[in-house]
């Protein structure tokens, strides 16, 4: 396609339009130079590995003090980037990760951004994801019973989660809480009750999802909830991934009166998945912007949305297939331009000295390195849900080995039996690990894109997810 600039709205003094033109000019000039052969055109993974190693092995610059409350995130971003690049997490690094994060978990069960800091769902998610890469030493850090109490303490009557005690309602809270609960075998009806309804209430007129929604008041109980803000790639991903965690495969759909369903208590009023697909695909930028993604309508392209929007599309495809008969499901293989997304990551977001960035003119950082590589992985090794793998996992699940551990979880008296508890664990385990590589695009990917396959919901490399869930669900092996 030709590199056509964004049409003018006639308001040449508009700061937004001026920024758009400047971004287009910088990116198109860079692409022209790189595609002419004057600079490398593939992912230089060695430089990004070295970038991450510097963050882990050397004192951080003084300006990192601004990330003091995000220390679990820095660990997760760097460990995950190394894993995507195929680098093993050696024993010394696993031990350092476990030792560091062990000081971040508070008595209430949640993790703070550092020792003695407030328990918060965001660093809790990041800490658990980082500990997934630390192996058994990392898993032993987590106090599951306290963690369950912490997650419940943040649950709201409308199904949402506040980010911390006294904090704001945010769909990121739903995602962080449900991811942690799924990985640690803590996903119960008590935790998921009404969660799906809250998520659906965040969908906006555009089709994407916003951070939250106003709940209907007692005066207007039938009034629809109004989204708080505009559709956003990060919130939309969190909402779609949460929705997928709450929904089982269609072959095992249950009525709400079945207490073995994780979404027990919800009527699962719908997310309009087709509208979500349209919105997500429309966030891919034009060729003149390199084919990356923007996070909101009329905003600038940004490398992190390679994951938040690009990685959202396989989830939405799965949800659509679950909602519709196979014969009625459209072919979504080419729903977005995966080659252009890989081009953006390799030619636009890749910083010459290592690390990845938002766009040219921005500095590389751990956050953008993580999510650019995640997006490139999803575009190269597209995740697909396998019903046959799901059935195999369910059939091979060993509930007896799991009952004693599950019985330690705090429960409402009389709510569960060990049998339904194990049955639920079996289903969650099966559907969480039934993702595999679909039609690999390695054959048309640029050189050096030897990236690892990542879980589409949790954004952790699949072997770490399998090992972590096998540990907490007390299973001997995974498929």
Catalytic residue among 170, 266, 337, 365: 365
> Which of 374, 233, 361, 238 shows the shortest CA–CA distance to 305?
233
> Which of 174, 184, 158 shows the shortest CA–CA distance to 266?
158
Could you confirm whether 232 is annotated as catalytic?
yes
Could you confirm whether 358 is annotated as catalytic?
yes
Could you confirm whether 368 is annotated as catalytic?
yes
Separation CA 253–CA 209 (nearest Å) = 24
> Which of 168, 243, 246, 177 shows the shortest CA–CA distance to 211?
168
Joined tokens for residue 117: 């800091």
Separation CA 432–CA 338 (nearest Å) = 24
Could you confirm whether 94 is annotated as catalytic?
no
Catalytic residue among 358, 359, 431, 455: 358
Alpha helices in 184-311 (DSSP H): 189-192, 195-201, 233-246, 273-282, 305-308
Catalytic residue among 304, 309, 370, 426: 304
Element (H, E) at 440: none
Catalytic residue among 48, 368, 406, 474: 368
Catalytic residue among 232, 359, 406, 424: 232
Annotate 245-277 with DSSP letters as a single string.
HHPPPGGG---TT-TTSTTTT---PPP-HHHHH
Catalytic residue among 133, 148, 235, 305: 305
Could you confirm whether 302 is annotated as catalytic?
yes
Could you confirm whether 269 is annotated as catalytic?
no
* DSSP, res 457: T
Catalytic residue among 155, 296, 359, 471: 296
Q: CB burial class (10 A; 0-12, 13-18, 19+) of residue 229?
A: middle
Element (H, E) at 321: helix 312-323
Catalytic residue among 299, 387, 436, 448: 299
Could you confirm whether 296 is annotated as catalytic?
yes
Separation CA 377–CA 305 (nearest Å) = 13
- The neighbouring-strand residues paired with 301 are 294
Residue 219: partners with Cβ closer than 8 Å, 6 or more residues away: none
* DSSP, res 235: H
Q: Are 48 and 355 in contact (CB under 8 A)?
A: yes
Residue 92: partners with Cβ closer than 8 Å, 6 or more residues away: none
CB atoms within 10 A of CB 330: 12
Angle at 432 between CA 428 and CA 433, to 5 degrees: 125
End-to-end CA distance of the chain: 42
Q: Which parts of 264-405 are beta strand (E)? A: 383-385
Catalytic residue among 170, 185, 266, 302: 302
Separation CA 411–CA 190 (nearest Å) = 8
* DSSP, res 117: P
The catalytic site residues sit at 232, 296, 299, 302, 304-305, 358, 365, 368
């Amino acid at each position: 396609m030709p590199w056509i600039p964004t049409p003018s709205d006639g308001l040449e003094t508009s700061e937004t339009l001026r920024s758009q033109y400047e971004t287009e000019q910088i990116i198109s000039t860079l692409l022209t130079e790189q595609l002419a052969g004057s600079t490398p055109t593939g992912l230089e993974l060695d430089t990004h590995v070295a970038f991450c190693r510097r963050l882990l092995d050397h004192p951080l610059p003084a300006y990192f003090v601004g990330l003091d409350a995000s220390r679990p995130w820095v660990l997760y971003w760097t460990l995950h980037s190394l894993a995507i690049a195929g680098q093993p997490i050696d024993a010394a690094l696993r031990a350092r990760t476990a030792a560091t994060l062990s000081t971040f978990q508070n008595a209430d069960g949640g993790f703070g951004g550092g020792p003695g800091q407030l328990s918060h769902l965001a660093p809790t998610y990041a800490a658990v994801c980082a500990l997934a890469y630390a192996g058994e030493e990392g898993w032993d850090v987590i106090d599951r019973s306290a963690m369950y109490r912490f997650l419940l303490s943040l649950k709201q009557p409308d199904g949402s989660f506040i980010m911390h005690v006294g904090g704001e309602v945010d769909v990121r809270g739903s995602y962080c809480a449900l991811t942690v609960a799924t990985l640690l075998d803590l996903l119960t009806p008590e935790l998921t009750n009404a969660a799906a309804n809250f998520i659906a209430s965040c969908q906006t007129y555009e089709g994407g999802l916003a951070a939250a929604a106003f709940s209907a008041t007692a005066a207007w109980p039938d009034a629809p909830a109004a989204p708080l803000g505009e559709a956003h790639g990060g919130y939309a991903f969190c909402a779609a991934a949460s929705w997928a965690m709450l929904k089982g495969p269609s072959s095992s759909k249950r009525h709400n009166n079945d207490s073995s369903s994780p979404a027990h208590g919800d009527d699962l009023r719908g997310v309009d998945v087709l509208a979500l697909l349209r919105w997500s695909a429309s966030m891919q930028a034009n060729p003149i912007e390199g084919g990356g993604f923007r996070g909101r309508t009329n905003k600038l392209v940004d490398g992190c949305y390679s994951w938040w929007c690009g990685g959202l599309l396989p989830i939405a495809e799965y949800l659509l297939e679950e909602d519709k008969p196979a014969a009625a499901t459209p072919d979504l293989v080419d729903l977005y331009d995966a080659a252009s997304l890989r081009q953006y990551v390799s030619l636009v977001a890749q910083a010459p000295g290592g690390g990845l960035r938002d766009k040219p003119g921005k500095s590389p950082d751990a956050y953008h390195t993580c999510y650019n590589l995640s997006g490139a992985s999803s575009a190269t090794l597209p995740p697909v849900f396998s019903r046959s793998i799901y059935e195999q996992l369910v059939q091979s699940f060993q509930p007896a080995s799991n009952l004693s551990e599950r019985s330690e979880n705090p429960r409402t008296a009389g709510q569960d039996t060990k049998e339904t508890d194990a049955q639920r664990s079996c289903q969650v385990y099966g559907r969480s690990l039934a993702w595999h590589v679909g039609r690999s695009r390695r054959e048309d990917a640029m050189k050096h894109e030897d990236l690892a396959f990542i879980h589409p919901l949790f954004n952790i490399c699949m072997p770490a997810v399998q090992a972590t869930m096998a540990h907490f669900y007390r299973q001997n092996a995974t498929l």
